[in-house]
Structure 1
Amino acid sequence: MIIKNGLVFHESGKFEKRDLYVEGDKIARTAQGETIDATGLYVIPGLTDLHFHGCVGYDFCDGTVEAINNMAEYELSQGITTICPASMTFSEERLNKIFAAAKEYKGETGAELVGINMEGPFISMEKKGAQNPEFIHKPDADMFYRLQEAAGGLVKLVDIAPEVDGAMECIEEINKDVRVSVAHTAADYDVAKKAFEKGARQVTHLYNGMNPFHHREPGVVGAACDNENVMVELIVDGIHSHPATVRTTFKMFGDDRIILISDSMMACGLEDGQYTLGGLDVTVRGNKATLTKEGNIAGSVTNLMNCVRCAVKKMDIPLESAIKCAAVNPAKAIGIYDRFGSLDTGKRANIVLLDKDLEVKYVIKDGKIV
């Protein structure tokens, strides 16, 4: 396949007008065969969502191959070619079942399942958000390793509230085997700083599920900003963070350290109504999902490509930066950048073509138009 005359994204964060070649399922230096005229189109690597719970009526925590398959097909249709869905706070027995289903999943018609984001249960009761308090558990390395075995090694991220008893020891023990993200936490600056010193390298949905940045109490946000080894997730759906906050975050962290995520729940791709998340009832109206009982925001109802559009069209984030944060950075964060996340020669040919309005014109997965 030859994709001709497109504006091709380079991992450095620039677009350049050139041809892109695909041989088999890889990006190549040259090729023959089908030609796509990409004149006037942006040619970008497929996106990676490393934090979402569900879409089109299915949830990763359904714990079935069917659910993962339906989620993966929807995500691929939107230009998200690799997925790392997130679990919720459940019992070890339930998480074991969910992770075993992910291990069993061998789908070939949707986005590729490249990992699991273990968002619960090692979180703070004070900042539980939409997580079920019944199953919150102190950080436990042995429990993680049991679940990782059930998952066949698929767990790429583990979320931990560092102020909870046993958290620092757990971070220190597991950080060589999995990426630790500070999450759902009431930690202050010093505790968060210590967590990063112990090996935590990410912050889950920055600003949400933590104390706000304050000029005398900078908290997790300030500690993350001070540590150049730490990346931060950002939900850019127009609900979770004000446009000015998003712009400020890009100034604080730069586009090398921000990971755009959707944090979508099962209502993504569907109409308003009543849904569930982590066993809790959720009400969806417009672009907002809230816990029916408490009123807390309960994830988003948008996909990652829509987050890119929102960042660019409504928040004045450069397209180059948005693509970098939705394709390059998440792939680097979960250790798959050797195969995915850019259009370098030799990488998997997961490619999306967007028009000037950022609408999807082509999705190419493993070198085939889907």
Structure 2
Amino acid sequence: MKQTFIAEQIFDGEQFHQQLPISVEDGQIVAFDSVKGAVESKLAGTLVPGFIDVQVNGGGGVLLNTDCSVAGIEAIGQAHAQFGTTGYLPTLITDDVNVMAQAADAVAAAVAKGSAGVLGVHFEGPHLSVPKKGVHPQSHIRRISDAELAIFSRDDLGTKVVTLAPENVSVEVIKALVEADVRVCLGHSNADYDTVVAAIEAGASGFTHLYNAMSPLNSRDPGMVGAAIESQDTWCGLIVDGHHVHPAAAKIAIAAKPRGKMMLVTDAMPPVGMPENATFELFGIEVVRQGDKLNAVTGELAGCVLDMIGAVNNTVSMLGLPFDEALRMAALYPAQFIGHQQRGQFSIGSQADMVLLNSQRQVEQTIIAGQVAFKS
């Protein structure tokens, strides 16, 4: 069905327009004009490119680690669609190799089915640093083996991201992963600066939740944080929830990195999209929600209840960035990181992934491939 959407205001990824028609056919943008025979929808609010989240552990009461199924993945996507996410990487945290294989099978099935928003998979671990493990279970942290390499090398998983600690994975293995079309992110690591630089030279292209669970920047020991901020060609995920990163630290990193290399992530857990008092278990440890914060009963931060529109609005209110740049950090820049050049912006031929925001910058509608995925 041909559709033409006419919102009061449209942000195309670069600039704002007033009353600009966007026509969609077969899930793609075909014209910035009204197309003959199209059903017109006039929308009150601002239409922006759909958000892309490359680190989504759970949502809607589901944790990928404990529900490695297409239905579980789709439930996570439906929860995040309420908050403007139109593309995401279901993220499996450190676990047994059999669970990794089950998650890979589920993601492959979701990709083959065309489950709304599923772009691939993010394996956050298990090849991490014990001193920087956070809530990742130490019992499953291990050296990389042929079994994990076989999973990471599959060609039916869509976009593949793997977070690893470079002090525990050789540059030769990093090169092999990159050759297998894996986007290697560095994180949960106590590596020194030189080890991080060597990993970047081997092809690592991203950093997982900058500042969190990584060796810090010091005057004579720049650590992973220093290498990440210095690097001009890598992307950094940033959790802007007011708990994981101090606003001043976030501002410093944004100022230092080239424009386009900082992207918003949620690191979201099952309570996203659930009632305020939702709790869950993570490897037998209870995780408690207190407002907009998640802590394991052992004290550690345990992911987030952050959503993407919340991250956008926090970037404006906490960091003082312009609204349009916050939107790019949620859509265009993560699309560029994962190599989806036709997402994160409105252009002829791009998938019609769109979010309608009201005057309070809250989500009224989420549209994935031209189909309404959420309506308030």
TM-score where L is the length of structure 1? 0.92
Could you tell me how far 1:229 is from its partner in structure 2? 1.2
Cα shift readout 1:128-165 (whole Å, capped 9, x = no counterpart): 0110100111134x33332136683335111110112x
> Does the residue aligned with 2:279 lie in a helix, a strand or coil?
strand
Q: Distance in 2 between matches of 1:318 and 1:261?
A: 18
Specify the alignment match of 2:217 in structure 1: 213
Cα contact 2:97–2:148 (8 A) shared by 1: no
Partners of 1:356 and 1:99 lie apart in 2 by 40
Shift, 1:228, TM fit = 1.4
Range with greater deviation from structure 2 (28-37 or 348-357): 28-37
Contact residue 255 and residue 324 of structure 1 kept, 8 A: no
1:137 to 135, 142, 148: 142
- Structure 1 range deviating more: 356-365 or 52-61: 356-365
1:351 offset after TM fit, Å? Answer: 0.8
Contact 1:69 1:107 in 2 (8 A): no
The code of the aligned residue for 2:233 comes to N
1:25 to 2:27 alignment: yes
2:357 aligned partner:
354
Quote how far apart the aligned CAs of 1:356 are: 2.6
Q: Mind listing any 5+ residue stretches in structure 2 that lack a counterpart?
A: none
Q: Is the 8 A contact 2:125 2:163 kept in 1?
A: yes
Q: Indicate the SS of the match to 2:6.
A: strand
- From the superposition, tell whether residues 106 and 152 of structure 1 become closer, same or farther in structure 2 (CA, over 3 Å): closer
Q: Structure 2: how far apart are the matches of 1:280 and 1:200?
A: 32
CA-CA distance at 1:65 after TM superposition = 2.1
Instruction: Please name the residue that 1:341 is paired with.
Output: 344
Deviation at 1:193, TM superposition (A): 1.0
For 2:75, the equivalent position in structure 1 comes to 70
2:206 is equivalent to residue 202 of structure 1: yes
Pick closer, same or farther for the CA change 1:89–1:313 going to 2, 3 Å. same
Instruction: Answer whether contact 1:81 1:110 (CA < 8 A) is retained.
Output: no
Instruction: Output the amino acid matched with 1:120.
Output: G
Write the distance in 2 (CA, Å) between the matches of 1:289 and 1:5: 36
The one-letter code of the counterpart of 2:357 is L
1:188 counterpart = 2:192: yes
Determine helix, strand or coil for the equivalent of 2:172.
helix
User: Hey, what does 1:16 align to over in structure 2?
Assistant: 17
Give the corresponding residue for 1:152.
156
| Aligned-pair CA distance for 1:94 | 1.6
From 246, 251, 254, give the equivalent of 2:250.
246
Question: Quick check: 2:29–2:348 contact (8 Å CA) kept in 1?
Answer: yes
Q: Could you report, residue by residue, the CA deviation over 1:175-233 in whole angstroms, capped at 9, with x for unpaired residues?
A: 12211000100012111111111111100000001122223322112212222111000
CA deviation profile, 1:104-133 (whole Å, cap 9, x unmatched): 236979642111001010101110011010
Q: Distance in 2 between matches of 1:249 and 1:300?
A: 21
1:366 to partner: Cα distance: 1.5
Q: Does 1:128 align with 2:130?
A: no
Task: Report if aligned partners of 2:165, 2:191 keep a CA contact under 8 Å in 1.
Answer: yes
Alpha-carbon distance in structure 1 between the residues aligned to 2:364 and 2:114: 18
The CA distance in 1 between the partners of 2:349 and 2:283, in whole Å, is 39
Alignment partner, residue 60 of structure 1: 64
Letter of the 1:202 partner, please give it.
G
Q: Matched residues in 2 for 1:54 and 1:349: separation?
A: 24
Q: CA 1:84–1:269 in structure 2 vs 1: closer, same or farther (change >3 Å)? A: same
Structure 1 pair 349/24, CA: closer, same or farther in 2 (3 Å)?
A: same
| Partner Cα separation in structure 1 for residue 282 and residue 48 of structure 2 | 32
Please list every run of 5 or more consecutive structure 1 residues that lacks an aligned counterpart in the other structure. none
- More displaced, 97-106 or 230-239? 97-106
Conserved in 2, the CA contact under 8 Å of 1:237 and 1:307? yes
Range with greater deviation from structure 2 (94-103 or 16-25)? 16-25
**2: CA distance between counterparts of 1:38 and 1:296?**
43
Would you say 1:169 and 2:172 are equivalent positions? yes
Residue type of the alignment partner of 2:186:
V
Quote how far apart the aligned CAs of 1:279 are.
4.9
C-alpha change, 1:182 and 1:283, in structure 2 (3 Å) is same
**Identity within the alignment, %:** 29
Q: 1:279 to 1:204 in 2, by over 3 A?
A: farther
What is the distance in 2 between the residues matched to 1:212 and 1:149? 31
Q: Tell me, yes or no, if the aligned pair for 2:7 and 2:46 is still in contact at 8 Å.
A: no
Q: Deviations over 1:338-370 (max 9, x none)?
A: 3x2211111111111112311112222221334
TM-score by length of 2: 0.90
> Which position in structure 2 is the counterpart of 1:119?
124
Provide the rounded CA distance (Å) in 1 between the counterparts of 2:161 and 2:283: 18
Deviation per CA, 1:21-58, whole angstroms, max 9, x where unpaired? 2223111124242323346x322111111101001210
Task: Count residues with an aligned counterpart.
Answer: 364
AA aligned to 2:28 is: K
- Per-residue CA deviation, residues 309-333 of structure 1 (Å, 9 max, x unaligned), is 2112333221111111111111121
Q: Name the CA distance, whole Å, in 1 between partners of 2:291 and 2:155.
A: 35
